[in-house]
Amino acid sequence: MVDFKRLAQEEKEAVIAVRRELHRIPETAFCERKTAALVADHLRGMGISVETGVAGTGVVGLLQLGKEGKTLMIRADMDALPVAEKTGLSFASTHDGFMHACGHDAHMAMALGAASILSRIKGELKGNIKFVFQPAEEGPGGAKPMIDAGVLERPKVDLVLGCHLHDAPEGTLGVKAGTVLAANDRFDLRILGKGGHGAMPHLCVDPIDVGVQVINALQRLVSRQVNPLNPVVLTIGTFHAGTSFNIIPGESVLSGTTRTFDRGIWDSWQERMEKIIKGVCEAMGAGYEFQYHRGYPPTVNDSALAEIVGRCAGEVVGPDRVFEPEPIMAGDDMAFFLERVPGFFFFLGAGFEGSAPLHNSLFDFNEGILPSGVEMYVRLAHALLR
């Protein structure tokens, strides 16, 4: 019988070492060249066949288990954030202005740790395991380009797994069937008014005033057009206009994001918003240019896999340390894989007293939790591919 816990603990130092290697070289979307090279080298060292340059900088390792069976995909994201690191760690970022502030270094390290173990116990399993290291999760998204490049084929992927660090107490595991993350989109709006002297507003069309009315009207979409039991978010993140206190500018520029767990609402955002924007602008004599950019769909876990994932999580950390995470309005392009293939996105708690949140310049975590993620992947692969 395979001693998963012992194998994961034996891998601990190597996993921590590779996490630190990756942490030193953060790279943003589609620029993950050093990262991809390091990942590919580690996979090759395990005897795993490697394809690089997938959708630009993506890496795919294929472990063939020698017997006919299903193909399981383990996905890890590679990109970092444009955040200047302030942790003071001995292995802090060497790329000024960039940092692994969302745990993607941990995600890669855990996937590589699992690859190391699974390559050694492959005689226990049948089928194939694809280790997919994906660029650009933070945006504009690397999952869909990798799918378009054929990552779910050759051989055809039957199941997909992924993990993300979570602000829950460190060493816990989060398992939830159904929707766990929201669809997230971006929009940009330019309001075209008529500029002039601040003392003569009657001769102008004030794009700041119009912008304020648009913002207020858009919030009615949330409070009066959507069922209050169905949570949605519409946030204006930027509003820029004007150059002087006594000049009414000719235009204002706004941008923001929408979030929802509901696919029907996700599909209707653009039409609903433009109807409101058009009505307000026409009523106030302004023109507008509206661009709506579809982002990631909701992240939905396969309910049929929940029992297996929950059982494995309990074996890793103990049943009392398995939690059901509340859905949050963040998004992840793991959603594109889960749209096409049954799979599961689980969470590894990394929070501790005084810990900084994800996307923060002070973000760090206790590396002692990494073997739990490694063990989780290995147990799941063993359960799904025996």
Q: What's the pLDDT tens digit per position in 313-342?
A: 999 999 999 999 999 999 999 999 999 999
Please report, for residues 184, 298, 356, the alpha-carbon distance to residue 330 in angstroms, rounded to integers and kept in the order given: 7, 9, 17
- Residues 27, 77, 137, 158: which is the catalytic one? 137
Cβ neighbour number for residue 85 with a 10 Å cutoff = 24
Average pLDDT value for the chain: 97
Residue 318's Cβ-side half-sphere holds a number of Cα atoms within 13 Å equal to 4
Tell me what the mean pLDDT of segment 248-272 comes to: 97
- Residues 11, 21, 27, 79: which is the catalytic one? 79
Q: pLDDT tens across 31-51, in order? A: 999 999 999 999 999 999 999
Can 364 be counted among the known catalytic residues? no
Q: pLDDT tens across 196-211, in order? A: 999 999 999 999 999 9
Tell me what the mean pLDDT of segment 162-186 comes to: 97
Tell me the domains of the chain and their CATH numbers: 4-180+299-385 (3.40.630.10), 183-296 (3.30.70.360)
Q: pLDDT tens across 54-88, in order? A: 999 999 999 999 899 999 999 999 999 999 999 99
Buried b (16+ CB within 10 A) or exposed e, 210-248: bbebbbeebeebbeeebeeeebbebebeebebbeeeeeb
Nearest to 76 by CA among 11, 147, 164: 164
| Helical residues (DSSP H) of the chain, grouped into ranges | 4-10, 12-24, 33-45, 104-120, 143-148, 207-224, 263-283, 306-317, 334-340, 370-385
Can 79 be counted among the known catalytic residues? yes
Phi/psi at 225 (nearest 5 deg)? -120, -10
Q: Is residue 179 packed enough to be buried (19+ CB in 10 Å), middle (13-18) or exposed (0-12)?
A: middle
d(CA 299, CA 318): 26
| Helical residues (DSSP H) of 31-103, grouped into ranges | 33-45
* 1 pLDDT tier (thresholds 50, 70, 90): confident
3 state DSSP class of 154: coil
Tell me what the mean pLDDT of segment 358-381 comes to: 98
The pLDDT > 70 percentage for the chain reads 100
